Structure 1
Amino acid sequence: MKAAIVLDAGRVPVFGDFKAPVPSADEKLVSVSAAAISQVVKSRASGKHYSSGNQFPFIVGIDGVGRLDDGRRVYFVLPNAPYGSMAELAAVRSAQCVELPEELDDVTAAAIANPGMSSWAAYQERAKLRSGETVLINGATGTSGRLAVQIARYLGASKVIATGRNADSLKDLEGLGADVTIPLVQDKSALEDAFKEQFASGVDIVIDYLWGESAQSLLIAAAKAGKDAVPIRYVQVGSISGAEISLPSAVLRSSAITLMGSGIGSIALDRIINATAELLRATVPGNFKIASKTVPLSDVENAWPLDDSNRRTVFEIVGGA
């Protein structure tokens, strides 16, 4: 079968032939129609993600959309290595397949599942978002962050605060449900003051896609300005701005901040799949907006380095529909 194959760590996937998977007794064979690039897919392909393996060659991709033998359209996740989603066929455990709503098209489902799940699971499984709460999204101008703004509103947040570096993208977020936007281009003192103003007014949940310096400033500002003993649930989702921060211990001792992560390992796989299913069912009723572009899988080598955070690259697999 044809597939996008990683031959060695750090190399761009190439289009080529790979032995077709043979499903075991508890697996279903999916004829794949669409699969998207995401940050975790790129990180795993480079060998840098914490969940990466070291088995080469392998088919890239952790999730996708396709049809089962009985004709049902499904979203699926995590075929067993060395197999991935960017191939004509994927063998996947039945429990890791989710039937798609009829009104949701394949490309949108493939595009939205991973970035949308990142905040849906963070809100529902980790932060336990309640209607009427205030949410701050650190790094809201990328695909995942834009969806996090929309999903927060859909799940009942009364106020949404968004941060980011791109001024035009921040402005766009106002149309997606952000009440306050904070540019991350200010000097450190001015940025901390902007954060303290928001925390003084009350912030219940922080969803952090960046980590790095902005996260450090957020946590310090929350400790300085947060209301006494009022809990702040800080959920760490991504680390685009850096993998490490320097955090004074007094920040956690002097505040009611609960610091946690959200992702593979911090949430059981069945709960992640359930969160994704809920997201996919809500996508059309919630009118969630996501920008995407479609590319033939055969062009993976050229399209891979051009992928960015503004539009999801969705590979269409011929014959999978």
Structure 2
Amino acid sequence: MKAIEISSFGAPEVLRVAERPVPVAGEGEALIRVSAFGINRPDVLQRAGFYPPPPGASDLPGLEVAGVIEAGDAQALAEAGLAVGDRVCALVAGGGYAQLCVAPVAQCLPVPEGLDDVAAASLPETYFTVWSNVFDRARLQPGETLLIQGGSSGIGVTAIQLGKAFGARVIVTAGSEEKCQACLALGADHAINYKSQDFVEEAKALTDGQGVNVILDMVAGDYVAREVECLAEDGRLVIIAVQGGVNAGFNAGLVLRRRLVITGATLRPRPVAFKAQIASALREKVWPMFADGKIKPVIHSVMPAADADKAHALMESNKHIGKIVLTW
């Protein structure tokens, strides 16, 4: 099969088309013939040498795929209500940049009604991540206010739509007026241009000084201290990436007085059983919303797989709004 491999750590140009053996599906796994796969920030970090795959995972990048089940554990497929020939999208720990990819059956979901494979390939990584962190870990409730850092990113456009779908008030930050308008068009209640506005002051003003209940943060670093400042009592800060650095200083007194929770998680190394619970929740509570039109994929660019280097360069430019998807 053809695959996109990392020839050496470095700039996007290190990605190259290569021939690889077809992987074999083991117990509890499915072999998917991939028609489309999504690009995510962890892929960029892995290519640069900063995010090695977890033990046992493929060295090929790629965390989400869509296509047709070609083979697999018949019992596991039957128990999941799936079969050979079904169209699915799946979350994987690696190996997605290939024409064939093995995925745990428990992390496979039917392609939502009305979506093609390109749209489906844009879903797993961001929907698993947002559900796990915003709803399971941060326990966002209807009527609460969610602040999303980087609202125009793949994670951001997903969090906006899910936050609104489940009854939250949504505030986002973004780096341009174009991105702010795109977030508002997706349903965000307010958009803050972090290059010209102070998100702490704006968040406080928008909540009458009370602060926000949940923050989804991909920056960390010096953002953490500012985020602590704009959390309401019993507020929850969830850190899912550290693009601004791993070190943070903050006012611990505010954490005590306001009973704040600062937490974080990475999804990729978690066990299949953990991800299976997320998949089950998504299938029951979120997937029907695509058919109802309550939520939709947001795709910025679709490129051929051979242009993986261009896709990575686009992601690193931060000029995209939504997801970048590659096809075979």
**1:71 and 2:85 equivalent?**
yes
Q: Against the structure 1 CA distance between its residues 203 and 304, is the aligned structure 2 distance closer, same or farther, given a 3 Å change threshold?
A: closer
Question: Structure 1 length as normaliser, TM-score?
Answer: 0.83
Q: Residue 14 of structure 1: CA displacement?
A: 0.7
Cα deviation for residue 290 of structure 1 reads: 0.5
- What is the distance in 1 between the residues matched to 2:55 and 2:9? 8
Separation in 2, partners of 1:193, 1:300: 40
**Residues 185 and 313 (structure 1 numbering): CA distance in 2 closer, same or farther, change over 3 Å?**
closer
Match of 1:85 in 2: 96
Kindly indicate whether the alpha-carbon contact (under 8 Å) linking 2:113 and 2:290 is maintained by their aligned counterparts in 1.
Answer: no
How far apart, CA to CA, are the structure 2 residues paired with 1:219 and 1:312? Answer: 29
Partner of 2:314: 306
How far the C-alpha of 1:314 sits from its partner, in A, is: 1.2
SS in 1 for 2:255: helix
CA distance in 1: counterparts of 2:327 and 2:177, whole angstroms:
32
Let me know the Cα RMSD of the aligned residues.
2.7
User: Which one of the candidate residues 190, 205, 222 is aligned to 1:197?
Assistant: 205
> After superposition, what is the alpha-carbon deviation per residue over 1:66-109, rounded to whole angstroms, capped at 9, x for unaligned?
11132101112226xxx601111112232222222332221111
Aligned residue for 2:22?
20
**Once the 2 structures are TM-superposed, how far is the Cα of residue 54 of structure 1 from its aligned partner?**
8.7
Partner of 1:10: 10
Q: Percent identity between the aligned chains?
A: 24
Unaligned runs of 5+ in 2: 71-83
Which amino acid in 1 is paired with 2:32? V
Q: 1:134 to 1:195 in 2, by over 3 A?
A: closer
Normalising by the residue count of structure 2, what TM-score does the alignment of the two structures yield? 0.82
Equivalence for 2:299: 291
Distance 1:110 1:23 in 2: 20
User: 2:289 corresponds to which letter in structure 1?
Assistant: A
CA contact (8 A) 2:15 2:308 kept: yes
Q: CA deviation at 1:287?
A: 3.2
Aligned to 1:244: 247
Residue 2 of structure 2 aligns with an amino acid whose one-letter code is K
- Matched residue of 1:5: which SS? strand
Q: Return the letter of the residue paired with 1:163.
A: T
Give structure 1 regions of 4+ aligned residues with deviation exceeding 6 angstroms: 54-57
Which string of whole-angstrom CA distances, capped at 9 and with x for unpartnered residues, describes residues 208-228 of structure 1?
222233332121243xxx4xx
SS at match of 1:91: strand
Give the secondary-structure state (helix, strand or coil) at the position aligned to 2:308.
helix
User: For residue 182 of structure 1, what is the amino acid of its counterpart?
Assistant: I
**Any idea what SS the aligned residue of 1:244 has?**
coil
- Structure 1 residue 123: deviation in Å? 2.4
**2:277 paired with 1:271:** yes
Q: How far, CA to CA, are the matches of 2:145 and 2:238 in structure 1?
A: 14
User: 1:168 aligns to what?
Assistant: 178
- Closer/same/farther in 2, CA of residues 102 and 204 from structure 1, 3 Å limit: same
Which amino acid in 1 is paired with 2:7?
A: L
CA distance in 1, matches of 2:191, 2:69: 44
Q: Is 1:114 aligned with 2:125?
A: yes
Q: What one-letter code is carried by the residue in structure 2 that aligns with 1:40?
A: P
Q: What letter corresponds to residue 204 of structure 1 in structure 2?
A: N
Q: Is the CA contact 1:6–1:56 (under 8 Å) kept in the aligned structure 2?
A: no
Partner SS for 2:123:
helix
Q: For residues 189 and 90 of structure 2, what CA distance do their matches in structure 1 show?
A: 35
> d(CA) in 2 for partners of 1:266 and 1:203?
29
The whole-number CA distance in structure 1 between the counterparts of 2:223 and 2:136 is 24
1:177 aligned partner: 187
Do the aligned residues in 2 keep the contact of 1:15 with 1:301 (CA within 8 Å)?
no
Query: Is it true that 1:282 corresponds to 2:289 in the alignment?
Result: yes
Residues 118-173 of structure 1, C-alpha deviations (whole Å, 9 max, x = no match): 3222222112222222222222132321221121100111x222222212211332
| Per-residue deviation, 1:289 | 4.6
Closer, same or farther: CA 191–129 of 1 in aligned 2, 3 Å: closer
Could you tell me how far 1:198 is from its partner in structure 2? 4.1
